[in-house]
Homo-oligomer: A and B are copies of this chain.
Amino acid sequence: MTASSTAIPTHANCLARDAADPLGGFRDRFALPEGVIYLDGNSLGPLPKSVPERVNRMLVEEWGSHLITGWLKDGWMELPLTLGDRLAQLVGAQPGEIAVVDTTSVNLFKMLSAALAMRPDRKVILSTSDNFPTDLYMAQGLAALLDKGHELRVVDPDDLDCSLDETVAVLMLTEVDFKTGRVHDMARLTAAAHRVEALTLWDLAHSAGAIPVDLNRSRADFAVGCSYKYLNAGPGGPAWLFVANRHQQTAHQPLTGWLGHAAPFAFDLDYRPADGIRRHVCSSPGVIGLVAFEAALDIMLEADMGAMRRKSIALQELFITLVETRCGEAGLRLVSPREASETAPFLRGGQVSFAHPKGYGIVQALIERGVIGDFRDPNILRFGFTPLYVGFADVFDAVEHLKAVLDTGEHLNPRYTDRASVT
């Protein structure tokens, strides 16, 4: 169904859809300030109400009461793996394929190192110009460190297929474009990479919790992701990495910390990798951030991913329809794919982006009205549609605010010149 084929919805119509929404009950699980319509969960998810209680319990009852013994008694030491096993349920992985650890960038460095070492005769890391820049920067840093002639080849997304050849060691992609929400077809591109015996490394920062992810069915080799966008674990929450079972014995990465040692408490002078995913855990895990993620993830695992995706698309299509009908003369241009699918290939992720020459001012004026989206240079307005806490009437109201901003010229206020923004 395309957005343009829907009839123009009314506010009453939206309220009725909210009343009938099978996911409607989840909204109360999140702390959202009165009067705020939050369309930025693609950048930072809101606070799950269960998180402060869970974090406080860890602080007071675990750390405060058990002190050092909490590492074993409260399972802190194993959290990177136990939480990884829970996350695996959401992204189509097996237990033992995911560790929750470090940051997305650091994990990308680890996984890219491991993948390149498995293709020693190839020198090309293939990626796209729509990748989130940190992934490109980390690959540049690794290639320079290796100093063996590796090339980060950054191509236009449309040129990916013709760029996949026998020189490619690793196809490194972010599944969902952070600016436009365009989705790369993970299964198809992984198969194409495998046909030339390249490995794949997927960044799922804008995928996990946003769209159905099935790492095993897609035959992905390596993946990384974050927790603080669609997974609601809090600002800078712990990241994760995935290594397919079939690569676990051959995948070695260079950040060989003591907790990835086969016998960490033997304190040997020489590193020996632990079996399995554990070798990719370097350091004592940051427990406070991990339990926040655990509490947030529990909510996601309660919800049905298919229902979430269905509602996310419905919210997005409503938004596109309303923007184009209510604000059609204002010069907003849809830069996200117009089509989206409930199943792979997904085409569009969890966000809708428009371009407008005064985009920065529009986003700022909307924020002042309590409608929180964000802006990306040079002219992109991003809006995330997260079905557990955003409703149809929210979307209706958001577009009315957008129309009011454009009609009154609030966005032309000269103080909207500072371009500071965050991912």
Contact = CB atoms under 8 A, between A and B. Distances in A.
Given A46-B63, A103-B284, A141-B254, 16 more contacts: A33-B67, A44-B70, A102-B102, A106-B257, A106-B283, A129-B269, A141-B253, A141-B255, A141-B256, A145-B145, A145-B146, A234-B287, A236-B288, A236-B290, A237-B288, A265-B422
A64 B76 contact: no
Question: Which 9 A-B pairs give the minimum distances between C-beta atoms?
Answer: A103-B283, A134-B258, A141-B256, A105-B257, A137-B271, A47-B64, A145-B254, A236-B286, A141-B254
A257 B103 contact: yes
A105 B285 contact: no
A255 B376 contact: no
Contact of A56 (B56, B154, B239, B282): B56
A47 to B, nearest CB: 4
Given A138-B255, A265-B420, A59 B67 contact: no
B71 A235 contact: yes
Given A64-B47, A237-B286, A257 B31 contact: no
Given A60-B47, A145-B146, A420-B265, A106 B255 contact: yes
Contacts of A162: none
B141 A76 contact: no
A253 B138 CA distance: 11
Contacts of A137: 256-258, 261, 270-271
Interface in A32-88: 33, 36, 38, 40, 43-44, 46-47, 51-52, 55-56, 59-60, 63-65, 67-72, 76-77
A366 to B, nearest CB: 12
A279 to B, nearest CB: 11
Contact of A288 (B256, B288, B420): B288
B67 A283 contact: no
A140 interface: yes
A138 B282 CA distance: 9
Nearest to A44: B68
A68 B40 contact: yes
Contacts of A256: 137-138, 140-141
Nearest to A127: B269
A245 B376 CA distance: 34
A397 interface: no
